[in-house]
Structure 1
Amino acid sequence: MLPATLLAAGGAVADEAPGTRIQVDPASLPPPYATDAVAFQPGWVPAPQPLPFRLPAGFAVNVFVEDLRDARWLAVAPNGDVFLAEPDVGRVTLLRDADGDGRAEVRHTFADGFRRPHGLAFQGDWLYVADTERVWRLPWHAGDAKAAGPPEPVTAPGALGSASGHWTRNLAFSPDGSRLFVAIGSASNIGRDPAPRATVQSFAADGSDQKTFASGLRNPVGIAFYPGTEDLYVVVNERDGLGDGLVPDYLTRLEEGGFYGWPYSYIGSHPQPGLEGPKDLVDRAIVPDLLFHSHSAPLGLVFYEGAQFPPDYRGDAFVALHGSWNSSRPVGYMVVRVPFENGRPAGWYEPFLTGFLVDGGGSVFGRPVGLAVAADGSLLVADDMAGVVWRVSYAGR
Structure 2
Amino acid sequence: MCTSQLHGAFGESTSLAFNPIWRIIITTGSTNLFSRLVAMIGATAILFRRWGVNNDTPATGSNPDIPQAKPQGIPTLKMPTAKGWEPGHVPTAAPGLTVNAFATDLIHPRWIHVLPNNDVLVAEALQETGPVKTAFDYAMVSTMKRAAAIGVSANRITLFRDSNGDGVGDIRNVFLDKQRQPFGMASLGDKFYVGNTDGIVVFPYEEGATRITGEGRKLVDFKPGGHWTRSLLPNSDGTKLYAGVGSMTNIADKGMQEEEGRAAIYELDLESGNSRVFASGLRNPVGMAWEPTTQTLWTVVNERDGLGDEVPPDYLTSVQEGGFYGWPYCYWGKTVDDRVPQDAAMVATAIRPDYALGGHTASLGLCWMPAGTLSGFDEDGMVIGQHGSWNRSTLSGYRVVFVPFHDGKPSGPPRDILSDFLAPDEKYSYGRPVGVTIGPDNCLLVADDVGNVIWRVSGAS
**In the alignment, is residue 186 of structure 1 matched against residue 247 of structure 2?**
yes
The question of 1:234 aligning with 2:299 is answered: yes
Q: Using the alignment, how far apart are the partners of 1:295 and 1:186 within structure 2? A: 16
Structure 1 CA distance for aligned equivalents of residues 460 and 298 of structure 2: 30
Structure 1 residues 231-380: aligned runs within 5 Å: 231-305=296-370, 308-310=373-375, 312-313=377-378, 315-380=380-445
Q: Which digits, 9 at most, give the CA deviation of each residue in 1:192-240, with x for residues without a partner? A: 2443200111110147222111110000000121225430001000000
Q: Which residue of 1 aligns with 2:108?
A: 70
Letter paired with 2:200: V
Confirm whether residue 384 of structure 1 aligns to residue 449 of structure 2. yes
Cα deviation for residue 307 of structure 1 reads 6.0
* 2:122 aligned residue (54, 64, 84): 84
CA distance in 1, matches of 2:375, 2:216: 40
Aligned to 2:56: 11
- Judged with a 3 Å threshold, the aligned counterparts in structure 2 of structure 1 residues 194 and 357 are, in CA distance, closer, same or farther, namely closer
Contact conserved, 1:306 with 1:376, CA < 8 A, in 2?
Answer: no
The answer to whether the 8 A contact 1:42-1:330 is kept is: no
Q: Is the partner of 2:92 in helix, strand or coil?
A: coil
- Superposed CA deviations along residues 167-198 of structure 1, whole A, max 9, x for unmatched, are 10011111121211111000000012443200
1:118 & 1:271 partners in 2: Cα distance? 32
Q: In the alignment, which residue of structure 2 is the partner of 1:152?
A: 217
Cα distance in 1 for partners of 2:209, 2:90 equals 36
1:10 positional shift: 6.9
Q: 1:37 aligns with which of 68, 75, 85?
A: 75
Q: What is the alpha-carbon distance in structure 2 between the residues aligned to residue 27 and residue 142 of structure 1?
A: 45
Measure, in 1, the Cα distance between the counterparts of 2:310 and 2:95.
32
Q: How large is the Cα RMSD of the aligned pairs?
A: 2.1
Distance across 2 between alignment mates of 1:266 and 1:84: 33
Residue 99 of structure 1, CA deviation = 0.5
Distance (Å, rounded) in 2 between the aligned partners of 1:138 and 1:341: 38
Aligned partner letter, 2:206 = H
Deviation at 1:347, TM superposition (A): 4.4
Name the CA shift for 1:390/1:280 in 2 (closer, same or farther; >3 Å): same
Partner Cα distance (2:90, 2:225) in 1: 37
Residue in 1 aligned with 2:229? 168
Q: Deviations over 1:230-257 (max 9, x none)?
A: 3000100000011112110001000111
Decide whether the 8 Å contact of 1:304 with 1:313 is kept in 2. Answer: no
Map of 2:94 onto structure 1: 56
What is the SS of the residue equivalent to 1:110? Answer: strand
Instruction: In structure 1, give the amino acid aligned to 2:70.
Output: Y
- SS at structure 1 position matched to 2:93: coil
Compare 274-283 and 259-268 and name the one that shifted more: 274-283
% identity of equivalent residues: 38
**Counterpart AA for 2:251:** I
2:187 maps to which residue?
122
For residues 307 and 207 of structure 1, the distance between their equivalents in structure 2, rounded to whole angstroms, comes to: 39
Aligned to 2:274: 209
Query: Could you tell me how far 1:315 is from its partner in structure 2?
Result: 2.9
Amino acid in the other structure paired with 1:354: S
Structure 1: give runs of 5+ residues left out of the alignment: 1-8, 14-21
Query: What is the deviation of 1:125?
Result: 1.8
169-178 vs 356-365, greater mean Cα deviation: 356-365
Summarize deviations over 1:64-88 as a string: whole Å, max 9, x none: 0100012110000111000111122
Aligned to 1:23: 60
**Is contact 2:266-2:279 (8 Å) kept?**
yes
Give the TM-score of the pair, scaled to structure 2: 0.77
Tell me the alpha carbon deviations over residues 143-182 of structure 1, each in whole angstroms, 9 at most, x when there is no partner.
2111141222222xx3x2x112101001111112121111
Unaligned runs of 5+ in 2: 1-53, 126-152
8 Å CA contact 1:34–1:245 kept in 2: the answer is no
Q: How many residues align?
A: 376
Is the 8 Å Cα contact of residues 71 and 306 (structure 2) preserved in structure 1? no
Q: Secondary structure at the match of 2:198?
A: coil
SS at match of 1:11: coil
Q: Which amino acid aligns with 1:65?
A: A
Q: Indicate the residue corresponding to 1:4 in structure 2.
A: none
Question: Judging changes above 3 Å, is the alpha-carbon distance between structure 1 residues 211 and 101 closer, same or farther for their aligned structure 2 residues?
Answer: same
Change (3 A) 1:288 1:225: same
Distance 1:115 1:10, change over 3 A: farther
Aligned counterparts of 1:281 and 1:347: Cα–Cα separation in 2: 31
SS at the partner of 1:195?
coil
- Quote the Cα distance in structure 2 between the aligned partners of 1:119 and 1:10: 37
* AA partner of residue 125 (structure 1): D
For the 8 Å contact 2:182–2:194, the answer to whether it is kept is: yes
Shift of 1:24: 4.4
- Give the conservation status (yes or no) of the 8 Å contact 1:65–1:389: yes
| Residue 23 to residue 357, structure 1, CA distance change in 2 (3 Å) | same
Taking a change above 3 Å as real, the CA distance of residues 311 and 205 of structure 1, as seen in their structure-2 partners, is farther
CA distance in 2, matches of 1:307, 1:272: 42
Q: Distance in 1 between matches of 2:322 and 2:333?
A: 15
Q: Bigger shift: 144-153 or 301-310?
A: 301-310
Q: For 2:435, what is the secondary structure of its paired residue?
A: strand
Report matched runs for 1:89-108 at 5 Å.
89-108=154-173
TM-score when normalising by structure 1 = 0.89
- Alpha-carbon distance in 2 for matches of 1:195, 1:313: 43
